[in-house]
Structure 1
Amino acid sequence: MTGPPVRRTERLVLRQWGEADREPFAAMNADPEVMEHLPQPLDRAASDAMLDRLRATIEEQGWGPWAVEHAATRELIGFTGLAVPRHPLPFQPCVEVGWRLARAAWGHGFATEAAREALRVAFDELGLGEVVSFTVTGNVRSRAVMERIGMTRDPAGDFDHPALPVGHPQRRHVLYRVRPPAGGVRR
């Protein structure tokens, strides 16, 4: 039996998670700068549990939030992929595209490159009619990636994230949407 397909871009490999990914994934998830727009950094147990969930999702569906490795160095630099949100959101049902990269991988266009491949899978392989993405209002880096991959903000869809309590500074989120382009996604 073969595993889930490996996806490749010019500089990246999007693949299933392996045991060797645990340490770099935990280091990324413990970095306060990487986790600035999330409720809190993750300890090792929470990071390992997340990796297990991501791996199981890909195993079950054949797609999900893939481990992203730099093709030349084989180094894990983060994750990018597709997911069905775990919390009840006002615009569901939906599939979101998301990413998280280690600080050293920022500023090289890797999130954009990997997210474009995720959208190609969503539209060309899965036949989805729309993909969403959302983040904390102040996360300008992720919002810039959303715009670079052709997503448009839907201000009417902005929402308070139900996983965060009223008054939490990260509760307000912005919603972006994208539909498949005519002729499929271009890399």
Structure 2
Amino acid sequence: MHSRMRLGFFPFVRLTLLSAALLTPLIALAQQKQHDVLTEAQVEKIREAGIDPNVRIKLYTEYLNDHVNTVKGLTNRAKSDARALHLDKELQGVTELMDELGSNLDEYSDRHADIRMALKTLADESQHWLTTLKALAGEEPFDLSRKEAIEAGEDLTDQAQRLLREQTDYFLLHKDEKGQERAEPKPQQQ
């Protein structure tokens, strides 16, 4: 009986090692993908701003503006394979950045960071992004990326507007927490 237990254990170990070996390149690919969307300097600025939610959101907003403006600039160019590929790549980058920003908003919201200042700008800018993305006529090479970017933009716009309303209400009730980067639990009185 003891030898059967040992034999049953080895396939588990092999499966675990095989899974780790297969996942490692996928994780590296995902990290590389973000580096394709942002420059090393932009990634470093975002890392440094990690302690200041408003600055971090402002940076993402700025970088998204750059990508959406690139999409807008490509819109009026003559149709070509190179243009279509460039649009596809830019649209994928827009979607990736919007998703990443949405994740950051979730984190900052959960810890009750006061991000109203950045949310106001984001709510306005995201409307502009949606207008630009929706104005882009769909073409076969990038239509899926366009639809995904529009969906991500709608989600981000809704999230920013909802969080701005929630934060406005929250900080009306918790004036002592206004301007904070993170809500710290209050000590319980005994």
Q: TM-score, normalised by structure 2?
A: 0.30
Bigger relative CO (Cα 8 Å, ≥ 6 apart): 2
Bigger helix share: 2
Pick the structure with more strand per residue.
Answer: 1
Normalising by structure 1, report the TM-score.
0.31
